A and B are shown apart, each in its own frame.
Chain A
Amino acid sequence: MSEESKKGFSRRSFVKGMGITGGILGASSWVHATPLRYFKPTGIENPLAFYPHRDWESVYRNILAHDSSFVFLCAPNDTHNCLLKAYVKNGVVQRIGPSYGYGKATDLYGNQASHRWDPRICQKGLALVRRFYGDRRVKAPMIRRGFKEWVDAGYPRDAQTGKPDAKYFQRGKDKWLRLGWEDAYKYAAKSMHNIAETYSGKKGEEYLKKQDYDPAMIHALEGAGVQTLKFRGGMAFLGATRIFGLYRFANMLALMDSKIRGVGADKAIGGRGWDSYSWHTDLPPGHPMVTGQQTNDFDLFAVERAKLLIVWGMNWITTKMPDSHWMTEARLKGTKTVAVTVEYSATASKADDVLVIRPGTDPAFALGLCQHIMTKNLYDKDFVENKTDFPFLVRLDTLQPLRPDEIIPGFKEPELNSLHFMKVGEKPPAGKEQKDQFVPESMREDFKSFVIFDRKTKKYIAVSRDDYGDFAKKLKASPELKHQGNIKLVDGTSVKVRTIYSLTQEYLNQNMTPKQVSQITGCPTSGIISLAEQIAKNKEKTIFACGMGPNQFFNADLKDRAIFMVAALTRNIGFPGGNIGSYAGNYRTALIGGEPVYAAEDPFNLQMEKGGKPNVKKYTHYESLHYFNYGDRPLRAGDKMFTGAGHMPVPTKAMWLNNSNSVIGNIKWHYDVVNNTLPKLEFIAYSDWWWTGSCEYADLVFACDSWAEFKQPDMCGSCSNPFIQIFPSTPMERVFDTRADIEIIAGVSKALSKVTGDTRMMDMWKFVQDGNTHEYLQRIIDASATLKGYKIGDLEEKAKQGIPALMNNRTYPRISSYEQARSEKPWHTKSGRLEFYRPEVEFIESGENMVIYREPVDSTPHEPNVIVSKKHEALRAKQPADYGFDKKDVSSETRQVRNVVMTTEEMMKSQHPLRLKNYAHIYHTPKYRHGAHSTPVDTDITSIWFGPFGDVYRHDKRMPSVVEGYVDINPLDAKELGVEDGDYVYIDGDPEDRPFRGFKKGTEEYKVARLMLRARYYPGTPRGVTRTWHNMYGATFGSIKGQETRADGLAKSPETNYQSMYRSGSHQSATRAWLRPTQMTETLVHKTMFGQGIEKGFAADIHCPTGAPREAYVKITKAENGGMNGQGTWRPAALGYRPTYENKAMKEYLKGSFMKRKG
């Protein structure tokens, strides 16, 4: 700094100097003696060579200088996970940046990742400082006053029904009180014990009957009240010990059941576990129906090995933040990119071709591609004949596969090499040692051989499960794909048989020609044909990257089955550049296959020695959360129970969740759950570090450490990248009175030990209490095929330097179906092949034995959920009369099982029942880059970028927050409704059951629940299709009270600080719970979660309901003007900067007139 400036120069003296010199500015002799001398121009010819007075830069350097730094792991459920560096000054985290350690990651063999993984961070991570210190942190354990009074009063209950008085359960409206940690543990432990005891045995059963639970649910309880306690570690793959800890806890509760019911370890049952991946509608439910696998996928960076990338229902650029570059870089390297989408999305803007289809018509679109590929003989004969079930024959009398013993006298099933049948009592090898597929002996019948027709010899030939892939060639047969005919059975009868290919092709030719599919989807015929031909030209080189969008429709499994069919026809499954992947949520726990040694350690036989081998025994039954979402009911319609016995939920009386806001705060049909289901529950606990909408309705909230405050390490991975990542312990002091999730679980367990007198519950968490969670992590590592050989201490030390490790997978990138594509292993299906025909009774009754098309269950202007088909001899769906209800009954409940069949033309002419009542818009709710899940969504400096309504000053005091939810609507639709850009509108779903069953206008509950939000003109969405981003925090009783009573008018609860981003309602006001019969079967054969086992029926996160949260058909009504405080038009529109309002300058700008190109 110059000598002059060092003398100091205040703003005041500057102004004063200006006053003195005002009249004599022209006198140059004064210039150097007054403040204006600083205005003397300085001539710099080359600032890189010389630049005077750079000392001012030190001000900024000082601001950004740090005293120290540390690394933590940012891992919300957005499938990425990033080790980030926190920069600390004066003991405070000042800013966050990338660690730049990903390129240094290695596996055990020394293979090293590319530096192209760096830098790895997104805008949500950058803003986390605002969250670590944020005013919504849960700062200490809190208990709801009414609940505390109930506990303190000794859990009084109605003598007849067992129900507590509702006065204790004014959730969402009650006061909150701080608890000490030991008291918090005690309240939780006592309550769980009381509830389990109350609902155990005959007395418990009587209570539940009087509370009107479905008899099938009470039966499933088996008299064990402990099962009414439900647990969920949200997306547990994100925390191998702390989040999976709740499932370990549930398993441990078998000890409590043993005490309460007086049963031994052989009959004891644990608490119930809820699903995660399927609950979030992240599971692509058709993947196990075709491959047996939970999900077929690949590390996202495989994309640059493809020549054709189809980004299908996936907004890659938006939702894969640190991994979005793999897509754009693939394109730079020559990969052609096609977006199949329902709007002109951010990803569409990066694509070479964009195909816009009507939401929820994805199965039809895929079947249209198949039809063209089959008709033009563009399919890969070798792959289709040897790796799919297409050549297999089906009996038309039973719709079952033709079996060799039915036509070949004395035929004996061969002993299979591809499958080991486990005898009763035989135990499979430990997970990491499982090389062969195995299945219980009791399932032998599921693996009988099939029959093909050899076109050369004109003979029928038996094909066993061993004859998959290249092994099929030893049969020296040429399967006739289109064979159909009559065949004489060994019993002398004659039946008609047809190949699966023939049945499928007939369906496609009748109903799914490109022209018909164009009618259904809105995509031009030329687009369908063009894409089909491009895929067929790129065998082994077409990647289908599918996203969450189409998963969230009721017909999601048909979408998966149809897309797999496209890929199978064109040899694009299991190859480095040709494969199918699904990217929604972070789910692939199977990558840490040793998890059961922790989550299912036998509490009756604990391993207390460091380095000892744990004993595994599962006492916990799992169930899908969708039944809770459905009102704590199974699906009964007409006179039939559609929920399979293995899927059957039990009554929910208590729940404890961590790392989760999706089960109350952001639940589908949120207001129905709040008003109709939560009142049935007696204890709700949440562990969280941010006061969410779920905390608003809880009874007890445990205050957790943020990721930056971890004192115990943890471990996670991802379905989209190859890293095993450690949450390192950090030097950051806890900002508030918080504990680690796992310490909280250990604390409650210790309190339960005192309640029950069983010290094994405390021992269950010995290594947590010893401050050595590493022991549990090492046990998991040692038992995981992808991790064995690693030492947790080494991994954590590397993580502290910002360096992850690579999982020791066979390929880099990881590629699902790689072994199957190479004919090294069969798929985990009955046939060992990819299966496109489902002969199980549930599929036949639903008309889905073949891959067919159904309309969406609500998001359609046409009659919902109808099967689109002309008469077909293999389509024999049960009709409403078969189930005892009227065909005209299209209510939401019966609609789910209403298998009405229409031709394409009939369906297109049909109408959604609400169309006559001014309902005219599909309303869908996808996820967005600023809030993939609700973890970061209301960090103010993140949320203001959500759209054009962000305003940190809240000039318009109607705004609930510094940002607010909005609906994207086509401008032409809006104008028809008299809605201007930026206006407030109401969105109403089906009044039969939304926003909640039994709502009454004029009540407080309805006021909270009815969705009101801004309308945004968005030409990128087709007419009739509207959208609201799924993430934002919805209105609660507290947020409404805040708007009405706070001086600043914020929709912020005066009791809890909960901040809504809607004035009323939420995007979940228009959604509801849906249960789909083909996702509740007892018969579907699939791979187990861990290892190489095969099982059938229910499996959490593999085969169970997935819901349909993107299905809503709504009415939009103007509520208020968008102009400031309700006056006139919203300012950006009034100024002429918005679509359809363009002023002259804007029009010129859009025309490109502000730039001129020379020449």
Chain B
Amino acid sequence: MNTMTRRDFFLGTFSKAETKTECIVGRISDFPIGKSKSLTALQVEIESLPEGLRARSLENERCFYSIKMNQIGELIVNRRELWPENQAFSILTNEQTSLEDRS
């Protein structure tokens, strides 16, 4: 089921000013599996793992930000919302998912 309301959908079709904490970082296809991509302007590195995507701070490698997807398939990193290291963004559920043991 798509949880988007009709109103949300229409609002989503207008470009919105990005807040400082939430940044659109691209689409899934911009992050090929098994590779990491540094977004230096945002000081974020996106890791594309088999379980999903993870946003790591370039300033603090133990710091991971939340990721969500908007209604049109764009990925948004929120630098005020921290996720534990063992969490990633699942591209199947668009929600947090646990990573396999990577130790």
A→B interface (CB under 8 Å): 63, 89-90, 92, 94, 129-130, 133-137, 139-140, 142, 175-180, 183, 691, 734-738, 938-941, 952, 961-962, 1050, 1052-1057, 1059
Contacts and interface: CB of A to CB of B under 8 A. Distances in A.
Contacts of A183: 33
A1057 B94 contact: yes
Interface of B: 1-6, 9-10, 12-15, 27-29, 32-34, 48-52, 71-73, 91-94
Contacts of B71: 133
Contacts of B32: 180
Contact of A133 (B72, B92, B93): B72
B92 A1056 contact: yes
Contact of A736 (B6, B9, B15, B28): B28
A68 B14 CA distance: 15
Nearest to B29: A737
A735 B13 contact: no
A985 B14 CA distance: 45
Nearest to B70: A133
Nearest to A90: B15
A962 B1 contact: yes
Contacts of A130: 2, 4, 9
Contacts of B27: 735-737
Nearest to A180: B33
Contact residues of B: prevailing secondary structure? loop
A200 B73 CA distance: 45
Nearest to A148: B50
B92 A737 contact: no
A1050 B32 CA distance: 31
Given A139-B92, A140-B91, A178-B33, A92 B2 contact: no
Contact residues of A: prevailing secondary structure? loop
A1057 B13 contact: no
Contacts of A89: 13-14
A355 to B, nearest CB: 40
A63 B9 CA distance: 11
Given A130-B4, A1056-B93, A1059-B1, A63 B73 contact: no
B52 to A, nearest CB: 7
Closest 9 CB pairs of A and B: A177-B50, A737-B29, A735-B73, A180-B33, A1057-B93, A1059-B1, A139-B91, A134-B2, A737-B28
Given A135-B2, A142-B92, A1057-B94, A178 B13 contact: no
B50 A179 contact: yes
Contacts of B52: 178
Contacts of A129: 9
A179 B10 contact: no
Contacts of B15: 90
23 contacts: A89-B14, A90-B13, A90-B15, A92-B13, A133-B72, A133-B73, A136-B1, A137-B73, A178-B48, A178-B50, A178-B52, A179-B33, A691-B92, A735-B27, A735-B72, A738-B29, A939-B2, A940-B2, A1052-B1, A1054-B93, A1055-B93, A1056-B93, A1057-B92
A736 B29 contact: yes
A133 B94 CA distance: 12
Nearest to B49: A178
A1055 to B, nearest CB: 7
Contacts of B34: 180
Contacts of A140: 28-29, 33, 91
B51 A177 contact: yes
A644 B95 CA distance: 51
Contacts of A736: 27-29, 73, 91
A1052 B93 CA distance: 10
Contacts of B28: 139-140, 736-737
A921 B3 CA distance: 37
Nearest to A62: B14
Most buried by B among A89, A130, A178, A737: A178
Nearest to A941: B6
Nearest to A143: B50
Given A136-B2, A139-B73, A1050-B1, 18 more contacts: A90-B14, A130-B9, A134-B2, A135-B2, A137-B73, A139-B28, A139-B91, A178-B33, A178-B49, A180-B32, A734-B29, A738-B29, A938-B1, A939-B2, A1055-B93, A1057-B92, A1057-B94, A1059-B1
B12 A940 contact: no
Most buried by B among A130, A134, A183, A737: A737
Contacts of A1050: 1
Contacts of A940: 1-2
A425 B33 CA distance: 53
Nearest to B53: A178
A1053 B90 CA distance: 13
A941 B48 CA distance: 33
Contacts of B73: 133, 137, 139, 735-736
A309 to B, nearest CB: 39
A178 B91 contact: yes
